[in-house]
Amino acid sequence: MKYTACRPALRDTGCDYYYEMMLNQPICKNILLSLFVLLVHIGFAVQGQPTLGFKHLSVKDGLSQSNVNTIIQDRDGYIWIGTFDGLNKYDGYKFTVYTNDLNDNTSIPSNFVTKIIEDRHGYLWMGTTYGLTRFNKETGKFTTLFHDPNNANSISNNSIWSLLEDTEGNIWVGTFGGGLNLLENTENFPNVKVTRYLNEPSNPSSLSQNWVMDIYEDHNKDIWVATVGEYLNQFRPQTKTFDRIHLADSLSANTSVWSIAEDNKNQLWLGTETGLSRLDLNTKLVHNYLHDSTDSTSISEGQIRAILFDSKNNLWISTQNGLNIYNKNNDNFTQHLQDDFDAWSISSDEAWTIYEDKDGTIWIGTYSGGISYFHPSYASFGHVAYNPINPKGMHGSNVTSFAEDPNGNLWIGLDHAGLDFYNKQTGEYTQYSAAEKNPNSLSGNSVMDIHLDNQGFLWIGTYNTGLNQLNTRTQNITHYPSNLATDGMLNNGNIWTIKEDEQSNLWIGTIGGGLNHYNRTTNQFSNFGWGFEDSTTLSNENVWSILLEGDSLVWIGTSNGLNRYDLKTKHFKTYTNNPNDSTTISNHKIQTIFQDSQNRLWIGTQGGGLNLTHRDTDTFTSYHTQDGLANENISSILEDDHGNLWISTNEGLSKFNPTTKEFRNFKTGLQSNQFNLESCLKLEDGRMLFGGVNGYNIFHPDSIQENNQSSAVTITNFLIFNKPIPLSTLKVESRDDIPTIRLDHTQSVFSIEFSALNYIDADQIQYAHRLYNFESEWVKTGADRRFVSYTNIPAGEYLLSLKATNTEGVWMNNASHLRVIIAPPWWLTWWFRIATVTSVLIFIYFSYQLRMKLIYNQKKSLEEEVKARTAEVVKQKEELELQANILTRYNQEILSKNALLEDLHRQKDGMVGVVAHDLRSPLNNIKGLINLVTKSGQLNDEQTRYVQLITRLLNQGDLLISDLLYVNGIQQFDIQLHPREFNINEYITSWLENFQSDLKDKQQKLSLKTQTATAIIRTDQEVLRRILDNLFTNAMKFSEKGATIHLSLVEKSDYFKISITDEGPGISEADQEKMFEMFQKLSAKPTAGESSSGLGLSIVKALIDKLTGKILVHSVLGEGTEFELRIPKRIN
């Protein structure tokens, strides 16, 4: 015999009214999730009718109208609903409604939508009461084809009732009064070929009636047409005629076919005005199902609007008087009706349309009741609830405890409703309650715990009215009241938990009275005091849970810690939480204690999650919501046959695998997300019961299937500055399979809404998004925040990734991606930069050419003059001999001219320096003009921005020219040193004052360390300043805001070591090899966009060589750079 009692957490008198399910149907271990197996094995209502749990969508949820004609799911995953007043698109959270706009001929032509299909190209075709329309989802536009009495190639009637796309891609259109239409060449819609098929009274091979209710293509590609009247029509494509089939069997006849479906046995099932018909396609024999008022398993009375074979070949039938499901084994039907007391029942008895989506959800469109939808997972957890109008059902809603007798009958403790006995054979509940004038009744109606002992006595703990013993054979009840002042009696009447030890004695936990022990032999109670500091007493007076471990230990959960009582030493050991020690128990409030099949001890706490006890070390491992647990408040724990723990919480059920440490959480189909403390029981057949404030759930763990659904996240709306923009208008050609959109720089503020398009439990799905190249990590959101906004995104290429969990919180590995390209403004485009650089180079080139031409002309002129003078000397040789003084003067002039020629040659060789000098003057002139423009104070924002851009470019050019001049001076003129003695420590301190403003602008700090105050050096101050300026400027330039620049001075035996260290990105080994060459720009970039000529380090190297010193570099990528200078103490 196996019996377990578990406890309620909260005392609640509120009750929701549901029809209960009986417990007398066994659940197989390998139960299938298919609908009927679930219905049979989970349970039956008292009336013998299986129950389905539906969720609902109505006008209050955003549905445009409560009369639903048609439902489909498109290839993208959206649900489309046609109503009496508008077309609806549903993404699992909200509706988008399309209605007619009289001023827009691309809107839907009528708000009354009768039928929706999706063709192979992704277009939606809709029948309305005013025309046939096709919807382009990318553009959001409708194209409509109307009846034109003057055009035989138009549709024959504007009232469209049925649609079909056949295997050839043709569209068949059934009208209400205009017969059947065949549309070919639909890619050119509305310019299509239309063939009309109408009833001809004198032609029996024509369509039987012009009111076409449904069109169906069977597995043989035959077209079947349902019309009003007594016939079903089969189309003969060879002859363009119809065969008429009379829906009559030997007993009855059905008329006016509304809907057609085919099963897997090549049989057509037909919903008619008067019942259901089955047509064998091979024999053409008909079998009719009609309503029989004397048979509750017959089909419901009235018109059948829709029928559906789902993916498991179950037949769903919508009638005017409820939803029916065909039981093929018994050849009968189960009816499902709207029930005001059952919030999970279908929303209306008039079901008009049925549809199954790709995830197996069944959608029911009703008349006046909106939409009801069902998924097999909703029925995984059987739910038994209190129904006030059912006298044979359970007598209360707040279930606190369970016990199972050897015959499989149940005892159920109820808060405020006494005790219920469930008879497995009859399926009825019998109540035991308190009656003031009946001494053989319970002492109180608030039953907190029950325990069936090994002698057949049921012990009943009540709140505030003591302990009761029920003899289950004689039905006699014995009361054990409390009396604190009398030895041998209960010290408190608030009984919360009862356990029986190996000697058949009872251990009783109370609220306010601590722990009591009842000796069956002496019929005496004893109790234990409480005091946290006393090892011989309990740590608290409120006892919520007791676990007996053999005949040596008792574990007690209290409001102030876990207690272990040693029966041999009579001592208590208390375990409490230490916030500074993660190996202690996670919370003081202990709500449940459970020992699994591996003798592991599990502790459920209030607010501290789940704990595993390590008894060899007296430590604990805790599990929390961040580990996957549904909620930190643990109510009760059971173990299934595979070693998994099932844990009830204040946020549903958790299944925990102790080996893999994986959690799986459940909320749908539960009596409530809130369960009562230790209100649980594992039955002999493996089923589990968990009680709560709204009845109890019953299920077999093996029937709960893994959720492997992994819907990809879809972008449902894209907004730029809060204005919706169709993504199709932004898409550009992608280099791969990732959709790509392109925005210009004025569209850098955009928002995205998204959904997983999973309709089973959409509110339980979690989402995450990340914009790569902008965000460094995933941002997680809940189902209530399915959007993200980005503002002022810089120009560049980004990848937006979206992912979601399944309904149980497991992240799926099927992220969706959208590449977003934001184009830069024209002045930052590559072509503008190239044009600017090209213009500068052209200017320099022509300036150089002009200067060279001037030099050439001057040289040529001088050469001609020398030639002329030389000829004159030859001609006047005799005169020159006579006039020696004149000749000497002429020789001196010739020597002077030759020196000038040599000077011109040097000028040509130093052309770079000359050009640099010549360029500085126009640059200074431009600077002057810019200053004048700036001082005018009449610039707008755009002009100011251009002026700032020109100024920055001028400064960069001036810096380049200065460096060119300095390098040219070094190379051409061999700089002369002017050494003198000075205190280098004082010099550096004074020199650093020049950089205080720059450091402040970049919010950088300086760290200066010197070894001695009297450090005398003899060197060239100006050369040293130039070296230090370059190195210190680089340190600031390549360090981020807030960084520290380190400078140290150390005196060595014959030189001074000066180190300048930054906190920048560092210099790679490849860059270090070329860093001292001219015009070398390294891979690291200045942090604030500062310019760099590529000459600074080459100048430093040249100058340090001039001082006969050394420069060393120490750098690691990502850790900064140190430049070490070794300056000789004395130079000549």
CB contact at 8 A, 647 and 634: yes
In a domain, 504, yes or no: no
What is the average per-residue pLDDT within 411-424? Answer: 97
The helix (run of H) or strand (run of E) holding residue 1024 is: helix 1021-1037
Q: What is the pLDDT of residue 968?
A: 54
Same domain, 1098 and 1117: yes
pLDDT at 356: 97
Average pLDDT, integer, range 374-382:
83
CA-wise closest residue to 319 among 354, 352, 365, 270: 352
Instruction: Report residue 865: phi and psi, to 5°.
Output: -65, -40
Asked if the structure places residue 800 within a domain, the reply is: yes
CB-count burial class (<10 Å; 0-12, 13-18, 19+) for 900: middle
The token pair at 43 is 């349970």
248 confidence band (pLDDT: 50, 70, 90): confident
Question: Do 413 and 434 belong to one domain?
Answer: yes
DSSP tag of 585 = -
pTM exceeds 0.75, yes or no: no
**Per-residue pLDDT at 397 exceeds 60:** yes
Q: Assess if residue 462 is contained within a domain.
A: yes
Mean pLDDT, residues 465-490: 95
Q: Which residues pair with 680 in a beta bridge?
A: 690
**How do residues 43-91 score in pLDDT, each as one tens digit?**
333 333 346 789 999 999 999 999 999 999 999 999 999 999 999 999 9
Which of the pair, 380 or 1121, is modelled with greater confidence?
1121
Helix (H) / strand (E) element for 874: namely helix 830-875
pLDDT of residue 811: 86
More confident position, 363 or 986: 363
Q: Is residue 1107 part of a domain?
A: yes
Helical H runs in 138-178? none
Based on the structure, what is the number of domains in the chain?
5
Q: Specify the higher pLDDT residue, 450 or 1022.
A: 450
Q: Tell me, yes or no, whether 887 and 947 share the same domain.
A: no
Q: What are 307-320's pLDDT values in tens digits?
A: 999 999 999 999 99
Range of the domain at 1098: 975-1128
pLDDT at 403: 98
Segment among 110-114, 838-842, 931-935 with least mean pLDDT: 931-935
Same domain, 985 and 1076: yes
- According to the model, what pLDDT value does residue 634 have? 98
* CATH of residue 1111: 3.30.565.10
Q: Judge whether 1061 and 1031 are in contact, CB under 8 Å.
A: no
pLDDT of residue 1012: 66
Check: CB of residue 177 under 8 Å from CB of residue 207. no
Q: Which amino acid is at 967?
A: V
Shared domain check, 1070 and 960:
no
Structural domain includes residue 1022: yes
| Whether residue 1007 sits in one domain with residue 932 | no
- The arithmetic mean of pLDDT across residues 474-484, rounded, is 95
Residue 1059: name the closest of 979, 1120, 1131 by CA: 1120
Q: Please, what is the average pLDDT of the chain?
A: 87
Residue 263 lies in a domain: no
pLDDT of 929: 64
Whether the predicted pLDDT of 524 surpasses 70: yes
Contact 403, 411 (CB under 8 A): yes
The percentage of residues in the chain with a pLDDT greater than 70, rounded to a whole number, is 86
Whether residue 948 is predicted with pLDDT greater than 80 in this model: the reply is no
Q: Last residue of some domain: 972, 988, 1015? A: 972
What's the CA gap between 43 and 36, in Å, rounded? Answer: 11
Shared domain check, 798 and 868: no
Positive or negative CA dihedral for 803, 808, 809, 811? negative
- Verify that 679 and 739 share a domain, yes or no: no
Report pLDDT for 970: 53
* Domain boundary residue, one of 773, 791, 824: 824
Helix, strand and coil content of the chain, in percent to the nearest 5, comes to 20, 35, 45
Residue 303 has pLDDT above 80, yes or no: yes
Of 782, 799, 824, the one marking the end of a domain is 824
- Percent pLDDT > 90 in the chain is 62
Residue 454 has pLDDT above 70, yes or no: yes
Which whole-number Å values give the CA distances from 423 to 22, 24, 396, 447, 683, in the listed order?
Answer: 10, 9, 16, 19, 15
Give just the sign of the alpha carbon dihedral 861, 867, 872, 873: positive
Are residue 1027 and residue 886 in the same domain, yes or no? no
Residue 124 resides in a domain = no
H/E stretch holding 351? strand 351-356
Residues 858 and 943 in one domain: no
My answer on whether 963 and 1059 are in the same domain is: no
Radius of gyration of the chain (CA): 46
Residue 950 has pLDDT above 90, yes or no: no
Q: Are residues 812 and 770 in the same domain?
A: yes
Query: Which pair of tokens denotes residue 410?
Result: 């149940």
pLDDT in tens, 721-771: 989 998 888 888 888 889 999 998 888 899 999 999 988 888 888 999 999
Residue 370 falls within a domain, yes or no?
no
